[in-house]
Chains A and B, each alone.
Chain A
């Protein structure tokens, strides 16, 4: 089965840029989606189809995908960005939705 690998945690100072990665075999050939989940809340999609933003999501959130790594980039990070972030793909070989293990973003 297809596996998505995320670092458990990322820390960044306020105002800096956070980069959260999602690794998978030839993930560049897939469409990657990203979700933000704050404590006690349901996930919210922040990026879809590698780099598109839903309406209402700030331009500070951007995504890229190439080779074996997809990246969610959050610029000018603030305390309100502290959350768990999950990547997700559809694995066509198994007809499965696959989630990464999640990355906890801490704003120092």
Chain B
């Protein structure tokens, strides 16, 4: 059974750095073809892709947020961590982590999602 769960602060202040952890079970990120990604959704708005890390060494970032994002993994703990620097109120959103199973990026789709965690940026 595949599960993912996001954890992190519910409230951060402007200019602070956000650190979110995705803890997953039911698969290993060291298995060929496995990837974990972060997606966010501001209240009432559309999904926005943030970053992706694969089973090997590759990491991909949204161009618009690349300078602020870092994605990393700890395969021994079954965790993927996303850090986002210089937080702003416009970054208020529900942040999701999701799994991709596929070695061909053309077939990168999210078959399992966490429940999401709402992060509010406010002083």
Contact = CB atoms under 8 A, between A and B. Distances in A.
Interface of A: 1, 30-31, 33, 35, 37, 42-45, 48-49, 54, 86, 88, 90, 92, 94-102
Interface centre among A44, A49, A86, A96 (most CB of B within 10 A): A96
A35 B49 contact: no
B109 A45 contact: yes
B48 A95 contact: no
B60 interface: yes
25 contacts: A1-B63, A31-B109, A33-B109, A35-B110, A42-B113, A43-B110, A43-B113, A44-B113, A45-B109, A45-B111, A48-B111, A49-B107, A86-B46, A88-B47, A88-B110, A90-B105, A90-B106, A90-B107, A96-B63, A97-B37, A97-B39, A99-B46, A99-B47, A100-B46, A102-B47
A97 B109 CA distance: 9
A41 to B, nearest CB: 8
Contact of A97 (B52, B96, B114): B52
Interface centre among A54, A92, A97 (most CB of B within 10 A): A97
Given A48-B109, A86-B47, A42 B116 contact: yes
Interface residues of B, number: 22
Contacts of A37: 47
- Main secondary structure on chain B at its contact with chain A? mixed
Interface of B: 37, 39, 46-49, 52, 60, 62-63, 96, 105-111, 113-116
Given A1-B63, A42-B96, A42-B116, A99 B109 contact: no
A102 B105 CA distance: 22
Contact of B106 (A42, A54, A86, A92): A92
Contacts of A33: 109-110
3 tightest A-B CB contacts, nearest first: A33-B109, A97-B49, A42-B113
Interface centre among A54, A88, A98 (most CB of B within 10 A): A88
Nearest to A101: B46
